[in-house]
Amino acid sequence: MTHHHPLKLLAICFVLSFVFATMWVVVMTWTLPSTDGAYGMAPFGNPLVFPVMSIFASIVAIIVYPFTYVALRDRALPRALTILTAIVIAEILLVTPFNAFLGLLGSFVDYGIGLAKAHSLSPARSSHVERFQFSLRSLLVGVSVFAMFLGVMIFLKSFQQPYKLIEAAYQGDLVMVEHLLSSGADVHARDGWNSSAIMYAASGGHFEILKRLLAAGAHVDERSRMHLTPLMWAARNGHLLNVKYLLEKGADVSAVDRDGKTAIDLARDQGRTEIVNFLDHVATIEKDKGSGVVDPSRKGSRNISLWPKIVASSFTLSSEYLSPRREGASVDKHQKIPT
């Protein structure tokens, strides 16, 4: 009777482990509810996902190797692997969209079941008792591996605290933002797109959250992966109140992104006429004053911010614009900051 080489089956374990892990991540990411902070992100948009998945998949491959070797060492691999992969993939595709946790747990359990099924193929030299014992051992392996994975996830969960502030800012949840900031959340934390909470507040039109983040120490001119600033996002998405407030806090209206576009260019591209007119007026005043603004009361003093005066003299922040309800009405809950 011919036995497959141990290294061959070890390689098969690694391939299967990575295929199943990748499929679970993709299905889980694509079926996230719209209320999830990662909704709309690419499956591996967060740079931590792939390395964590790779480490876990490698550990799983090593753990299940002895059982895979015993089950498949003298079996016809094409048929055995077809049965094994079909069982696990079907479970991931059918269960994960409804419950990612159960989809992950089921993939381990079904791997054990698939091994037992493959082991029962010809040559059928094992008794019913031996098959039952092997099935039980395979099931225990699946549960044990899942328990290990759960422990790793609990450990890694402590590193996810910064993302909660970003998610709360994206959702427009001022109460949660207040709670997280009071609990010591890092206002400068970045997500997979290298965007911080202030980016999402500016982009989504969440004026009160924008004010709170700036008061907590967020930088008014923070940059995303594409070098976009909060002002650029507010202008692009048509949130005039946010644009005015960011300028009052010293945002650089002349900053450019990786494509060489300024906030006014992005607003013009999106047809934000009111914001284009406002920024045109602001840019004209800034140009007239020069790059170094002189305070009339102090000769030679430079870099005195005139943004509050510019904003007040051009487009007053009326009570209508200060209404969170009016500003919130234009918020698109499903809009995410792209790369």
Domain CATH number, residue 316: 1.25.40.20
Rounded to two decimals, the pTM is 0.47
Residue 165 lies in a domain: no
| Residues 115, 47 share a domain | yes
| Residues 263, 236 share a domain | yes
| Residues 323, 177 share a domain | yes
Residue 336 lies in a domain: no
| Residues 180, 103 share a domain | no
pLDDT tens sequence across 95-120 = 888 777 777 877 888 888 888 877 77
| Across 317-334, average pLDDT | 39
| Position 134, amino acid | F
| Residues 143, 206 share a domain | no
Buried b or exposed e, range 6-34, using 16+ CB within 10 angstroms: eeebeebbeebbbebbbbbbebbbeeeee
| Residues 217, 258 share a domain | yes
| Residues 19, 76 share a domain | yes
| Residues 280, 134 share a domain | no
* Domain stops at, among 135, 159, 183: 159
| Residues 62, 41 share a domain | yes
Residue 337 lies in a domain: no
pLDDT tens sequence across 192-239 = 677 889 999 999 999 999 999 999 999 999 998 888 999 999 999 999
> Residue 302 has what pLDDT?
35
Q: Is the pLDDT confidence value at 155 over 60?
A: no
* Domain stops at, among 159, 184, 201: 159
Torsion angles phi and psi, residue 266, rounded to 5: -65, -40
Whether residue 118 contacts residue 83, with contact meaning beta carbons closer than 8 Å, is answered with: yes
C-alpha to C-alpha distance for 111 and 117, rounded to whole angstroms? 10
Residue 267 lies in a domain: yes
Residue 217 lies in a domain: yes
Lowest model confidence (mean pLDDT) among 26-35, 181-190, 311-320: 311-320
Residue 335 lies in a domain: no
Residue 1 lies in a domain: no
Task: Provide the residue range defining the domain that includes 292.
Answer: 172-328
* Domain stops at, among 133, 159, 185: 159
Residue 339 lies in a domain: no
| Residues 274, 251 share a domain | yes
| Residues 185, 142 share a domain | no
Domain tally, the chain:
2
What's the token pair of residue 174? 């001022």
| Residues 287, 184 share a domain | yes
